[in-house]
């Protein structure tokens, strides 16, 4: 009897365990089927393309350059006998920098002048004699040719004598000089470096989106990085027609600054290009753009499925892009959940 009871209890326990296992298996299969059904849809959230007022102002950094910068070269030879300006002096166009010893050239000029006067007197005399056929036509032509040659010699020697006075070809500061009293100068030798920094030039480079908003003659605010308290104003003088290797366009701004201004060539500055007025633009978030900014597109939802739509966009700020074509204000697109989304993917709006 006791053994029978034990066997019955064992059978009942085994049946209970089998039933529990079967129930658990059925429950797991039902949950798996439900999960599979749910995984057929990718949850997404929508956003609307909206119109916003956008500030088109932007900044670009660059370096100040001298308006004019050149090295004065000697055209004559001789020893420096007079110094008119030294390194650091401000010069005006035509101011004497140095004068070379010109005594020999002056003597040559005097001789050439006397020869010219002699030929001119002979030409007058031979012209009078030619009227009475006292001289031949060839003699008269020779004297006339002699006058022209003597005049050319006077002019050439006069130019050499003029070149002994080396003068400033532009206004500006003597940034460097290469002479001392007694220095022997030869043609082609550098004499001085002159920098004209009024006005200064600020050279900056801008993107293709920015360059279309810049026009020649436009007024620009300029900040000097090393002098935060210094505020200047400039005018756009040049816009390059071709981009560089980095797809940037050069813009040169002329900045009016007095010659005694602390702003110097080589300093860094920031040009602040301001928009004339805020513009209303169509905006979506950057995360809603699929394919990047080179081949942009967005996904809309149609009949419960993702539908790809090509758009034209350009960056507006760190989180938004401006839509140039492909969308209308108020149109809904997928904003979140783009991972694994492609054309025709079933989606579920959250």
What confidence tens digit (pLDDT) does each residue in 7-18 have? 555 655 565 565
Report pTM: 0.62
- Give me the architecture of the 75-194 domain, per CATH: Beta Barrel (2.40)
> Of 60-64, 83-87, 201-205, 322-326, which gets the smallest average pLDDT?
322-326
Query: 153-176 pLDDT, tens per residue?
Result: 999 999 999 999 999 999 999 999
Query: 316-337 pLDDT, tens per residue?
Result: 777 888 888 888 888 888 888 7
Cβ partners under 8 Å of residue 78, min gap 6: 100, 101, 102, 164, 184, 185
350 or 62, higher pLDDT = 62
How far is the first Cα of the chain from the last one, in angstroms, to the nearest whole number? 66
pLDDT given at position 101 = 95
Query: 117-127 pLDDT, tens per residue?
Result: 998 998 888 88
Domain ranges of the chain: 42-55+279-349, 58-67+196-273, 75-194
The length of the chain in residues reads: 350
The CATH topology of domain 58-67+196-273 is Elongation Factor Tu (Ef-tu); domain 3 (2.40.30)
Q: How confident is the model at residue 281 (pLDDT cuts 50, 70, 90)?
A: confident
* Residue from 321, 203, 330, 196 nearest 258 by CA: 196
The CATH topology of domain 42-55+279-349 is 2.40.420
pLDDT given at position 37 = 46
Query: 225-244 pLDDT, tens per residue?
Result: 998 888 899 999 999 999 99
* Range 282-290 average pLDDT: 87
Query: 23-78 pLDDT, tens per residue?
Result: 555 555 555 454 444 457 788 888 888 888 777 788 899 999 999 999 999 999 99
pLDDT given at position 315 = 78
pLDDT given at position 126 = 81
pLDDT given at position 30 = 54
Q: What mean pLDDT value characterizes the chain?
A: 85
> Of 201-205, 273-277, 281-285, which gets the smallest average pLDDT?
273-277
d(CA 296, CA 287) in angstroms, rounded, equals 11
d(CA 35, CA 338) in angstroms, rounded, equals 20
Cβ partners under 8 Å of residue 114, min gap 6: none
d(CA 341, CA 307) in angstroms, rounded, equals 9
């Amino acid at each position: 009897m006791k053994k029978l009871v034990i066997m019955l209890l064992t059978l009942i326990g085994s049946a209970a365990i089998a039933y529990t296992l079967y129930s658990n298996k059925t429950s797991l299969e039902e949950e798996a089927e439900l999960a599979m059904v749910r995984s057929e849809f990718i949850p997404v959230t929508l956003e609307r393309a909206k119109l916003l007022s956008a500030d088109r102002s932007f900044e670009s950094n660059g370096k100040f350059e001298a308006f004019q910068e050149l090295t004065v070269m000697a055209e004559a030879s001789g020893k420096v006998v007079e110094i008119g300006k030294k390194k650091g002096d401000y010069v005006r166009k035509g101011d004497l920098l140095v004068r070379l010893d010109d005594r020999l050239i002056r003597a040559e000029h005097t001789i050439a002048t006397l020869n010219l006067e002699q030929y001119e007197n002979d030409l007058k005399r031979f012209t009078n004699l030619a009227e009475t056929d006292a001289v031949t036509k060839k003699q008269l032509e020779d004297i006339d040719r002699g006058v022209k040659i003597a005049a050319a010699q006077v002019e050439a020697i006069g130019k050499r004598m003029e070149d002994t006075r080396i003068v400033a070809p532009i206004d500006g500061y003597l940034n460097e000089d290469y002479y001392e009293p007694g220095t022997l100068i030869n043609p082609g030798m550098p004499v001085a470096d002159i920098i004209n920094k009024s006005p200064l030039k600020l050279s900056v480079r801008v993107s293709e989106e920015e360059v279309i908003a810049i026009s020649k003659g436009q007024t620009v605010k300029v900040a000097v990085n090393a002098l935060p308290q210094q505020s200047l104003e400039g005018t756009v003088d040049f816009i390059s027609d071709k981009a560089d290797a980095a797809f940037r366009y050069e813009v040169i701004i002329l900045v009016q600054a007095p010659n005694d201004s602390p702003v110097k060539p080589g300093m860094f500055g920031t040009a602040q290009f301001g928009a004339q007025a805020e513009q209303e633009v169509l905006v979506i978030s950057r995360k809603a753009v699929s394919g990047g900014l080179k081949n942009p597109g967005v996904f809309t939802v149609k009949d419960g499925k993702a539908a790809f739509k090509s758009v034209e966009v350009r960056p507006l700020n760190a989180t938004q892009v401006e839509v140039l074509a492909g969308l209308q204000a108020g149109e809904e697109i997928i904003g979140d959940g783009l991972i694994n989304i492609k054309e025709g993917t079933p989606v579920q709006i959250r």
